[in-house]
Amino acid sequence: MGRTPHAGERFRAALGCARRGIPVLPLHHPVISGPPTRIGCSCEEPACLQVGAHPIPQHGVEDATTDPLRIAWWWRRFPEANLGLATGYGFDALVVHGSEGDSARWLLVAEALRASGPLVRTGGDGWHFYFAPTGLASHRPLGLARIEWLGVGAWVAAPPSRHASGAVAAWVRDLDVPLPAAPAAIRARLDLPGPSFPWAGPEGSGPEGSGEPQGGAPVDPEGSRGPGPPLLAGEREALASVSAEGTASVNPVRIRD
């Protein structure tokens, strides 16, 4: 997870997820300054609580899209952006923060592991378990410390996004693995009332409404859809490969439509 992604890797990953029908969006990224060495967020808010993990677009996750041209425009303008995936459409996610916890927490994690679906090891010592969409609202399951269920209106930071620690998120099992249904033990927990959005978390996930840049004017206002800088050769090739595989012939999805 300590490997630094090369230029364009997150852009290509974004196109790959969009090709699967998953709406994507650019997230802010960690910024290192100093000396002395300091780690901040590209939103430039000193007190940012979601360093490198909240959306750049003005309308947050509502601007997520599968449109390859829009995705190319975003990553041409924000080449260092982390990759966000909108939850609740192509998948839901069980987010497990950190490696500590009580027996109830680890029993739930064991059920998630047995489901054998797509799994991400985050850069912040956490895990993202992907499941088939449930239609459930995003919330924190009651009685489970540092665990979140993310559905409609939320997002996760997907590989190869960079964490403030310097580590890079990585797939343990990628999206080629079928999405399982949430196991009964997890569904039972999700049916219990728990804290709902909004909340702010540093682990590469979040709710609709908490994703605005924390200070200053929005970076990517809705009216700024100009053509942007010309595409580079690598970007043209990536878009050409997407088009050849049929994505360009499918009506692109945009959540806010």
The per-residue pLDDT for range 161-197, each reduced to its tens digit, is: 999 988 999 999 999 999 999 999 888 888 776 665 5
CB 77 within 8 A of CB 229: yes
Q: Which domain holds residue 114?
A: 9-249
Rounded to two decimals, the pTM is 0.78
Q: Is residue 254 part of a domain?
A: no
Encode pLDDT of 135-149 as tens digits.
988 888 877 878 899
Domain count along the chain: 1
How far apart (Å, rounded) are the C-alpha atoms in residues 82 and 39? 15
Q: Is residue 219 part of a domain?
A: yes
The number of beta carbons lying within 10 Å of the beta carbon of residue 217 is 7
Q: Is residue 135 part of a domain?
A: yes
How far apart (Å, rounded) are the C-alpha atoms in residues 99 and 181? 24
Q: Is residue 256 part of a domain?
A: no
Q: Is residue 2 part of a domain?
A: no
Using the 8-state DSSP alphabet, how is residue 131 labeled? Answer: E
113-119 mean pLDDT: 95
Q: Is residue 255 part of a domain?
A: no
Exposed, middle or buried by CB within 10 Å (0-12, 13-18, 19+), for 121?
middle
Q: Is residue 146 part of a domain?
A: yes
Q: Is residue 257 part of a domain?
A: no
